[in-house]
Structure 1
Amino acid sequence: MPIRNEAWQPGTPAWIDCQVEDPAKAGEFYAELFGWEIQDGGPDSGGYLMAAKSGAAAAGIGPKPDTMPGMPSVWTTYFAVADADASADAVVAAGGRLMVPTFDVMDVGRMFVAADPSGAVFAVWQAKAHNGAAVYNEHGAYVWNELYTSDLSTAKKFYADVFGFSYTDFDFGDTEYLTFTPPDRTEAVGGLTDASATVTDSMPDYWLVWFQFDDVDAGIAKALELGGSVQQPAADSPVGRSAILAAPEGERFGIIDPSRAAGEMPAPKG
């Protein structure tokens, strides 16, 4: 399986975690669904749990912050940066806002939480002792991170200004879709999609974490058995068979089987 033992290139989705009311119960759900090993983060972690596959870091599960009452249970995408403080300045200069200012996480890294101009929340990670996800692009690990935005043109400029993304534009007929590539990468690592027709006050702009799953239909059945729900039924596409689910507390995530691709990808525009 792919294992990474060094910091991710700046702009790469480097870590994922969820913020929930009951981390222990959430850990049980994801352990059953993805085969994760749930590990206590230690006495200084504030109840934060680490999820691993075969001993390699896969994700985090933590309690919701006391400073954000009413916050829904969510998955958060973290982007790798070389300098969290400089990146925080870039977020503000580009029209975003800091929700949690830059701070040190013990000796493992430096981070902040921010919202883009349309309100989609993300975080950044400056690696120290913890590089981020060590396991990726395999069953039960994250494989893609995707922004659902009500203002694609503003999002495109914001993330280019903050992280230096370049884009490839695809036209899927009724939906415009961009893949993004960080400056030090040669391949796309995530996407931005025009969700202006579906974003509402109750479902604002957000980043969706996708996990690879070897049998999407079996994954749906398992999630339902464990108390989850289906937000978007299984469907086939040129990138694989996929579905969007929600855990018992309501945090949304996607599962996808890239080996089940159906049809041809549209040619890039331009």
Structure 2
Amino acid sequence: MLTTQYAPGAPDWLDLGSRDIDVSVAFYSGLFGWDFQSAGPEAGGYGMFQLDGKTVAAVGPLTQEGTRPAWTIYFHTPDADTTVKLVERAGGTVRMEPFDVFTAGRMAGFTDPAGAEFAVWQPGDNKGLEKVGEPGSLCWTELHTTDVTRARGFYKSVFDWDAEDASFPGGTYIVLSTSGGGQEGSFGGMVQLNDEHIAAGATVHWHPYFAVTDVDAVVEKTRQLGGSVIFPADDLEGVGRLAQLADSQGAVFAVLHPAVP
């Protein structure tokens, strides 16, 4: 269960790397009703997506040659520099060395041993996302990987996450929680990619889930706005109705209408 009372290891920020900020703003404004607020000329085009006046995500221009539009999930850390050492010791790589974002906080970017990119946010004046778990905001995170066993060990070493196996049709889903957080601390999961997935074009990556009130309507709106459907809307017992989508520039995300307990 995501909350804005961020515990170490919990998702606390989310941003989209975009080829065209205006195109991304038009897509997500049309899909979720988000507003865009620029972080100012000194931020190089970076800005916040807001809903009801609260930040739910951010967007910025792609800065590295050859990179594709994608969502990046940030996990809370009390010390980004210490996290660098933990990532390297566990077999990951550092994409961006820690640096201060004015007085907002300190961040760093990484790649896990299988190639999934993620980042960390050490809060300063900006404590993190201001709205989560509600319609139009982040409600879950998910890692698709070619080596669940190694990923489990890697993230345990870096964030001390708890991981619990949960059976589902076709395999096992690993539910992730902050250390000692129990069910209330759950925030995401891991999925094993098999050869069939890879042959179909699946990649190793983290992606966000956004809560919605009507998954089918969002799927149709995605198509209308120039996005695409990766996995169509489906019901998962005990979880809810969900679909995996891509925006008009190809960034992957998912939507979920949670099941009523």
TM-score of the superposition, structure 2-length normalised? 0.94
- Give % identity: 36
Q: Aligned residue for 1:182?
A: 178
Q: Aligned residue for 1:266?
A: none
Q: Distance in 1 between matches of 2:192 and 2:202?
A: 14
Q: Aligned residue for 1:254?
A: 254
Which contiguous aligned blocks of 4+ residues in structure 1 show a shift greater than 2 angstroms? 184-187, 199-204
Q: Distance in 1 between matches of 2:115 and 2:159?
A: 17
Selected match of 2:165 from 169, 186, 189 = 169
Q: Distance in 1 between matches of 2:38 and 2:165?
A: 42
Q: Aligned residue for 2:224?
A: 225
Structure 1 residues 147 and 42, CA gap change in structure 2 (3 angstroms): same
Per-residue CA distance 1:196-218 (angstroms, 9 max, x = gap): 33136954210011000100111
Q: Aligned residue for 1:205?
A: 204
Q: Aligned residue for 1:264?
A: none
Per-residue CA distance 1:1-24 (angstroms, 9 max, x = gap): x984x5x11100111111010012
Unaligned runs of 5+ in 2: none
More helix by share: 2
| 2:162/2:180 contact within 8 Å kept | no
Q: Aligned residue for 1:43?
A: 41
SS of the equivalent of 1:180 reads: strand
Q: Aligned residue for 1:119?
A: 115
Q: Aligned residue for 1:133?
A: 129
Q: Distance in 1 between matches of 2:199 and 2:173?
A: 19
Output aligned runs, 1:58-69, within 5 Å: 58-65=56-63, 68-69=64-65
SS of the equivalent of 2:74 reads: strand
| 1:92/1:98 contact within 8 Å kept | yes
Q: Distance in 2 between matches of 1:217 and 1:173?
A: 22
Q: Aligned residue for 1:236?
A: 235
Q: Distance in 1 between matches of 2:169 and 2:220?
A: 31
